Structure 1
Amino acid sequence: MPGRLRVRRPSPTTVSFTVSDAPQRDSSPAKILFGLQILLRAILFFCVIFVGIARLRGSFFQENGRYVRWTEVWSSPLGLSVCRVVDAYNPWAVAATCALVIYGVFWRGYTEESLLVMRGFGIQTATSSSTYLSTASTRFIPTTQIQDIVIHEAFKGFEVRFYLAVIVEGQADVVVVFPQLLPKREILEEVWRGSRRCLYDVKS
């Protein structure tokens, strides 16, 4: 997907370009749908936690605790149903299913890539991870190692794609900016002009 560009200028010497393919949430139905997704993720997360506790109840959660009366929980209709289902399947199958559900709960569902330009210091590229459990992968290139910022073109299958690249001194390969999203040329040209203007103080 080409993605959308968001530009932030915290100071005259710093600019941030972020490209994301996340769905827009400007309208009220989109915001309501996003809220329902968050609620569903929370419900699934607590269901997985409850299933895990039910599986371990024979070792750790059988007697009443300080805040939770486990004997009443397991004797309730919901507790009896969950225990019956958990005990009916192989423990490894239950663990694998819970792991898949947890991955789905924390799955990001979109990609976000950014380029941070700081005059006199350098640039930093970042690509978000596929889940909310891990941080984004980043790379910092100091100004002294930046030879140029250019727009290249390459073939992807039978299609010509443009990409923004940083030529780094002493490296044979260029550093591709926004490598996963590969936004359209208009976005790349705006980022190219803005980054060079900030990095080199270009007036025109």
Structure 2
Amino acid sequence: MLPKPGIQRAHHHSRRLGRSNSLLSTPTHLPSPTTAEFTVTTRPPTTLPLRLALLALVPLRLVVGGFSLLLLWSIYLLSPYAVPAPSKAIDAPLLSTTTLLRALHSVALSPPGVVARRLAATTPLVLLLPTAVVLLWASLRRVHKTESLLVLRGFGIQTSSSSGSYLAGTATRFIPTEKIRDVLVNEAFRGFEVRHYLVVVVEGEGELVVVFSGLLPRRRIVETVWRGVRGCLWEEGGKH
């Protein structure tokens, strides 16, 4: 079990703030004297064992994901809706549906494809189909989640959140300073638990923008980021 994370004040620079069973583990970054970036992540410090484990995951993901696709393709080939392999006598351009179908049928005749087809032929569809989908989904999942808040004095703030899958990119949103009415720490019930949220009040929007909505860090982290954001966004004697 990993130890509980520590936290450091992030003001006019970048820090990584640990959450739950993750750890504080990033070097200080200085974008500019008027810039602050706060990152909350479930990723532990990048040690040598972790690097090796992540490297080992790459071929494992490729094997699991590739075989899952082979299983799905084999299920399709055994269905009554399968399209037969195009004749080799047909001369087709390289980038065409005919060439793609030929390649896919050739893969099905490879040793891994033969194994997948045997499994598809001998395993009940109600068991094989969800298994293949779950394996494919697992091979594309990220092992950690990261959310960050970039504050640019005089410009605004940008929120970023990594997706749960490698197929999707990072979701970002920029809010200009003139649209920011306030930055607050709110309380809300989550089941029987009281949670604290860092929220941004945006002019013209009926709903509050919740920062770190996917990870929901502890109150101490939320308050630390809140102080850092206000200190960077508005100078002493400024609007707020």
**TM-score normalised according to structure 2 size:** 0.66
Question: Following TM superposition, by how much is the alpha carbon of 1:153 offset from its aligned partner in structure 2, in angstroms?
Answer: 2.6
> Which residue identity lines up with residue 128 of structure 1 in the other structure?
S
CA contact (8 A) 1:8 1:17 kept: no
Pairing 1:179–2:200 present: no
Within a 5 Å distance, the mapping from 1:181-196 to structure 2 comes to 181-196=215-230
Q: 2:152 aligns to what? A: 118
CA contact (8 A) 1:106 1:131 kept: yes
Aligned with 2:84 (options 59, 64, 72): 59
> Which residue identity lines up with residue 45 of structure 1 in the other structure?
G
> Which residue identity lines up with residue 17 of structure 1 in the other structure?
F
Aligned with 2:231 (options 186, 197, 202): 197
Q: 1:18 aligns to what? A: 39
**Larger RCO: 1 or 2 (CA < 8 Å, sep 6+):** 1
Q: 1:132 to 1:178 in 2, by over 3 A?
A: same
Question: Following TM superposition, by how much is the alpha carbon of 1:131 offset from its aligned partner in structure 2, in angstroms?
Answer: 0.9
CA RMSD of aligned residues (A): 3.6
Where does structure 2 lack aligned partners over 5 or more consecutive residues?
Answer: 1-18, 89-98
CA contact (8 A) 2:159 2:211 kept: yes
**How many residues are aligned here?**
200
Percent sequence identity is: 38
**TM-score normalised according to structure 1 size:** 0.75
In structure 1, C-alpha distance between the alignment counterparts of 2:167 and 2:64, rounded to whole Å: 16
SS in 2 for 1:11: coil
SS in 1 for 2:144: coil
Where does structure 1 lack aligned partners over 5 or more consecutive residues?
Answer: none
In structure 2, C-alpha distance between the alignment counterparts of 1:159 and 1:166, rounded to whole Å: 22
Within a 5 Å distance, the mapping from 1:155-170 to structure 2 comes to 155-170=189-204
> Which residue identity lines up with residue 199 of structure 1 in the other structure?
L
Question: Following TM superposition, by how much is the alpha carbon of 1:192 offset from its aligned partner in structure 2, in angstroms?
Answer: 1.8
In structure 1, C-alpha distance between the alignment counterparts of 2:193 and 2:113, rounded to whole Å: 56
Q: 1:184 to 1:88 in 2, by over 3 A?
A: same
Question: Following TM superposition, by how much is the alpha carbon of 1:102 offset from its aligned partner in structure 2, in angstroms?
Answer: 1.6
In structure 2, C-alpha distance between the alignment counterparts of 1:71 and 1:185, rounded to whole Å: 56
